[in-house]
């Protein structure tokens, strides 16, 4: 049986000690989608949403969320991120906005949780800003697409959505 990393010898919750891990450049890219009506997508594109510039506000929220990840996820290490980028792409043909986040640092633990948190909060902010127009929006398929660095090296999702 594999030893659990977040539980100590007494069965108590434990933050993993990463001090002995090698410091490498670590990068993670995550993605997710928010589906909405054509009318709501048009408001986003045309900047006619009553709450203002939806995409810029959501991007800022995603960047802020990545920086606060350790405040939100128990046992997540606080990290000195060197790069956070959130990109949104309106996909009219599929009735959605594609959200991608990249997080990077030179450190001894990965940044997957930060990238996933950035995507999640970006999507939640989009939902919040557009819910008056379309309360039936759906957030889906939040996943890590790629990670680099650390002992596992380069990994890519084999079947991204």
Q: pLDDT tens-digit profile of 109-137?
A: 889 999 999 999 999 999 999 999 999 99
Q: Is residue 140 part of a domain?
A: yes
- What's the pLDDT score for residue 1? 39
Phi, psi of 59 (to 5 degrees): -60, -45
Per-residue pLDDT tens over the stretch 74-95: 889 999 999 999 999 999 999 9
- What's the pLDDT score for residue 4? 54
As a three-state string, the secondary structure of 55-116 is HHHHHHHHHHHHHCHHHHCCCCCCCCCCEEEEEEEEEHHHCEEEEEEEEEEEECCCCHHHHH
Count of domains for the chain? 1
41 compared with 159, residue with greater pLDDT:
41
Residues marked active site are found at: 128
Q: Answer for the pair 137, 131: CB distance below 8 angstroms, yes or no.
A: yes
CATH (domain of 37): 3.30.70.640
- What's the pLDDT score for residue 160? 77
Q: Is residue 138 part of a domain?
A: yes
Per-residue pLDDT tens over the stretch 16-71: 878 888 899 999 999 999 999 999 999 999 999 999 999 999 999 999 999 999 99
Q: Is residue 158 part of a domain?
A: no
Phi, psi of 56 (to 5 degrees): -65, -45
**Six token digits for residue 129:** 């800003």
* Domain that includes residue 30, residue range: 24-148
**Six token digits for residue 79:** 């990290």
Place of tokens 């960047």: 63
- pLDDT-derived band at 150 (thresholds 50, 70, 90) equals confident
How far apart, in whole angstroms, are the C-alpha atoms of residue 34 and residue 32? 7
Q: Is residue 47 part of a domain?
A: yes
- What's the pLDDT score for residue 104? 98
- By C-alpha distance, which of 2, 66, 25 is closest to 153? 25
0.85 exceeded by pTM: yes
């Amino acid at each position: 049986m594999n030893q659990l990393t977040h539980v100590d010898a007494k069965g108590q919750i434990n933050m993993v000690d990463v001090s002995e891990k090698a410091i490498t450049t670590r990068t993670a890219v995550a993605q997710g989608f928010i589906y909405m009506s054509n009318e709501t997508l048009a408001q986003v594109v045309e900047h006619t949403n009553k709450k203002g510039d939806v995409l810029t506000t959501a991007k800022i929220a995603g960047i802020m969320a990545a920086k606060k990840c350790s405040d939100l996820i128990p046992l997540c290490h606080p990290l000195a991120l060197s790069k956070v980028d959130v990109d949104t792409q309106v996909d009219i043909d599929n009735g959605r906005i594609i959200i991608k986040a990249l997080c990077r640092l030179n450190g001894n633990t990965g940044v997957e949780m930060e990238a996933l948190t950035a995507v999640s909060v970006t999507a939640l902010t989009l939902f919040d800003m557009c819910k008056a127009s379309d309360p039936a929006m759906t957030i889906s398929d939040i996943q890590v697409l790629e990670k680099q660095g650390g002992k596992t090296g380069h990994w890519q999702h084999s079947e991204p959505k």
